[in-house]
């Protein structure tokens, strides 16, 4: 099975999972990336069964609107039933690395608000220990060098993602060489560096459910 077919299958599985819980007042949070894009396409087929979506990036907001789905600002929303998004890595406890698409900060905010966070991925994303995928860290531009030095002090090798500016006007450092044995501790430690907006470890708010596409079918971890 081709990777695109796995992404489409897991996106459809997420739609099947949420559909019985949606009503005309429901608001759905939507992530960013190629798997989230497949989810948006599948979500469009049930767009008359819920009220609106909240997007984790400008790109996602555009794709939702193009498919006729109403997009709301998070600040105007009281309750978000679900957040559905991909990941760059997940461990077996559903701690994640996210931010390969540079949308980590808004993704983390929308995930924090949601009642239930459903992560969708193909099986290549499941790992025993996070850290093979370089950890994205969003930084205020003037703090880039300072934060990079601090990340070296934590044992990482930060590389500036050249040419990328986030939706919030900031830069991304991708930190190589970390073996993340305690995701909650490292998430907290990096977030305490002055100039860091947030980092791509999702451990304090991990996923509630991981839907994993395999050639044998969809597996659910929770
Ligand atoms: C974007 C993300 C994505 O969820 C992550 O990069 C996975 O993307 P894809 O579904 O394209 O593999 O965190 O910031």
Catalytic residue among 59, 73, 107, 187: 107
In this prediction, residue 179 carries a pLDDT of 87
- 107 noted as active-site residue: yes
Q: What is the mean pLDDT of residues 49-74?
A: 98
Query: 120 CA to middle of ligand 1, Å?
Result: 10
pLDDT digits 0-9 by tens, 176-207: 999 899 999 999 999 999 999 999 999 999 99
Query: 29 CA to middle of ligand 1, Å?
Result: 15
Ligand 1, residues 87, 97, 104, 134: which to mutate, most atoms within 8 A of Cβ?
87
Q: What is the mean pLDDT of residues 44-62?
A: 98
- How many other β-carbons are positioned within 10 Å of the β-carbon of residue 118? 24
pLDDT digits 0-9 by tens, 89-98: 999 999 999 9
In this prediction, residue 165 carries a pLDDT of 98
Q: What is the mean pLDDT of residues 127-143?
A: 98
Give which of 185, 163, 183 is closest to 174, Cα–Cα.
163
Query: 87 CA to middle of ligand 1, Å?
Result: 5
DSSP codes joined into one string, 100-147? TTS-HHHHHHHHHHEEEEEEEEEGGGB-SSBTSSPEEEEE-GGGHHHH
* Ligand 1 environment, Cβ below 6 A: 31-35, 85-88, 98-104, 107
Return the percent helix, strand and coil in the chain, to nearest 5: 35, 30, 35
Q: How far is CA 69 from CA 34, 36, 42, 61, in A?
A: 18, 14, 12, 9
């Amino acid at each position: 099975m081709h990777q695109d077919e796995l992404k489409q299958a897991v996106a459809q599985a997420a739609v099947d999972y949420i559909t019985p819980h949606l009503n005309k007042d429901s608001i759905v949070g939507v992530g960013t990336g190629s798997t989230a894009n497949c989810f948006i396409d599948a979500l469009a087929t049930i767009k008359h069964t819920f009220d609106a979506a909240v997007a984790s990036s400008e790109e996602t907001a555009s794709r939702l609107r193009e498919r006729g789905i109403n997009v709301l600002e998070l600040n105007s929303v009281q309750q978000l039933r679900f957040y559905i998004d991909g990941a760059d890595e997940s461990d077996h406890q559903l701690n994640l690395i996210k931010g390969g698409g540079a949308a980590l900060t808004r993704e983390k905010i929308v995930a924090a608000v949601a009642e239930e966070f459903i992560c969708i991925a193909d099986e290549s994303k499941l790992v025993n220990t996070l850290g093979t995928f370089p950890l994205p860290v969003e930084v205020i531009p003037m703090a880039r060098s300072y934060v990079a030095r601090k990340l070296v002090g934590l044992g990482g090798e930060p590389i500036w993602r050249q040419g990328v500016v986030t939706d919030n006007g900031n830069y991304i450092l991708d930190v190589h060489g970390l073996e993340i044995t305690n995701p909650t501790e490292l998430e907290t430690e990096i977030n305490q560096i002055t100039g860091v907006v947030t980092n791509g470890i999702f451990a304090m708010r991990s996923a509630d459910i991981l839907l994993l596409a395999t050639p044998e079918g969809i597996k659910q971890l929770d």
